Amino acid sequence: MAKEKISIVVPCYNEEEALPLFYKEICKVAKDMKTVDFEFLFINDGSKDRTLELLKEYAKKDKRVRFISFSRNFGKEAGMYAGLSNVVGDYAAIMDVDMQDPPEMIKVMYKLIQDEGYDCVALYTKSHDDYGFIRKFLTSCWYKLIGAISSIKQVPGARDFRLMKRRMVDSIVDMGEYNRYIKGIFGYVGFETKWIDYRSPDRVAGKSKYSLIKLFKYAMEGIVAFSTTPLVISAFIGIIFCLIAFIAIVAIIVKTLVYGDPVSGWPSLACIIIFMGGIQLFFFGIMGMYLSKTYLEVKKRPIYISKETEKDL
Ligand code: UDP
Ligand code: MG
């Protein structure tokens, strides 16, 4: 009987320091798992350092190594999409190259899928001890918020690292949306997932590619991609303010008829106008966010552009 194959998708952006360490470790794991074949698909996401050179070196001497090199930096989401849409294995895993997703865990994950029949095994962490205070606080607020406004289940502290069966991989790739938010996509496609609580180690080399601003933008992407609640809330608040205005108008008319019309209250009127203007602009902004994402979706631009692959060697 032919051996099963596990494909490992590894997005890399300026990872010349971490890549050799990762490659060494994943090769060790592949050597230990004699009953399965492996394929390593690295995505070079427009790196400016020696990442691509290293990948070419590995691909020349190791048949299991494949790579897709993007024409520029498209982001990790595009990298994961490119990887999952090109792998051929019976199982696929997404892994960061910085060893925060320990290659050793592949053995545990594969065994769990084999023995207990899950479609997917994924890691999450209860405590983000590796994050600074601000990132930890904002992350916990974020999960509470998205839990409240989205019907798609997202496990707090979930990493993108997971081993999935082919069926699940195909469903993720079938979701061909341009604005990709994989944590939501995992939840959307469903399938039976086994969660392992695992505190990830620190990055082995190099620096994190995500600043707080980049993370904030990513969080906004997640809200717009998987919840329309902000639009509903803005419409609801609009109705409440209309009602308040209507009651106030009636009260003023009655007051004028009964007591005459003393001209007063200009400062408070100015405050109300500014307040209402602010609320309106805020909700226009929310609508604008959805509209801009729709605009990008309608244009149907490619999610990534490949410049070269191992086949060009
Ligand atoms: N990454 C990528 N493109 C980007 C940013 C990151 O392919 O634009 C890769 C990066 O090389 C790493 C993974 O995504 O393998 C996770 O990035 P990082 O470790 O910087 O994120 P963090 O763990 O700090 O959230
Ligand atoms: Mg990392």
Give, for ligand 1, the residue of 50, 96, 130, 211 to mutate: max count of ligand atoms closer than 8 Å to Cβ. Answer: 96
User: Residues 117-143: what's their mean pLDDT?
Assistant: 85
Q: Which of 168, 276, 280, 285 is nearest to 224 (CA)?
A: 285
Provide the token pair at 228.
């329309």
Picking from 61-70, 87-96, 184-193, 253-262, which range would have the lowest pLDDT averaged per residue? 253-262
Quick one: which atom of ligand 1 is closest to the CA of 207? 20
pTM higher than the cut 0.85: yes
Ligand 1 center to 264 CA (angstroms): 60
pLDDT per residue as tens digits for the range 239-279: 898 888 888 888 888 888 888 766 677 777 887 888 888 88
- Ligand 1 is surrounded, with C-beta below 6 A, by 11-13, 15, 45, 73, 75-76, 79, 96-98, 100, 203, 208-210
pLDDT at 189: 95
Q: Is the dihedral of CA 202, 204, 107, 193 positive or negative?
A: positive
Share of the chain above pLDDT 90, in %: 61
**CB-CB contact of 25 with 105 (8 Å):** no
Q: Say what the pLDDT of residue 207 is.
A: 85
For the structural domain made of 4-226, what CATH number should be given?
3.90.550.10
pLDDT in tens, 210-245: 888 888 888 888 999 999 999 999 888 988 988 888
Q: Look at residue 262 in the predicted model and tell me its pLDDT.
A: 65
Residue nearest to ligand 1 atom 17, measured at CA: 209
Cα 35–85–23 angle (5° rounding)? Answer: 50
pLDDT over threshold 90, residue 194: yes
Residue 1 clears pLDDT 80, i.e. is over it: no
Q: Give me the residue spans of the domains in the chain.
A: 4-226, 229-299
Query: How many whole angstroms from 208 Cα to the centroid of ligand 1?
Result: 6
> Regarding beta strands 36-44 and 4-12, do their DSSP bridges make them parallel or antiparallel, or are they unpaired?
parallel
So what's the pLDDT on residue 68? 97
Structure confidence by residue, pLDDT tens digits, 148-179: 998 888 888 899 999 999 999 999 999 999 99
Mean of pLDDT values over 121-142: 83
Q: How far apart are CA 281 and CA 166, in angstroms?
A: 46
pLDDT of residue 203: 81
Q: Is 44 left (phi over 0), alpha (psi -120 to 50) or beta?
A: beta
For the CA of 209, the closest atom of ligand 1 is 20
Which residue, by CA, sits nearest to atom 16 of ligand 1? 96
Q: Whose CA is nearest to atom 21 of ligand 1?
A: 208
CA of 10 to the centre of ligand 1 (A): 10
How many A from CA of 45 to the centre of ligand 1?
10
Q: If you search the block for the tokens 């069926």, which residue do you land on?
A: 167
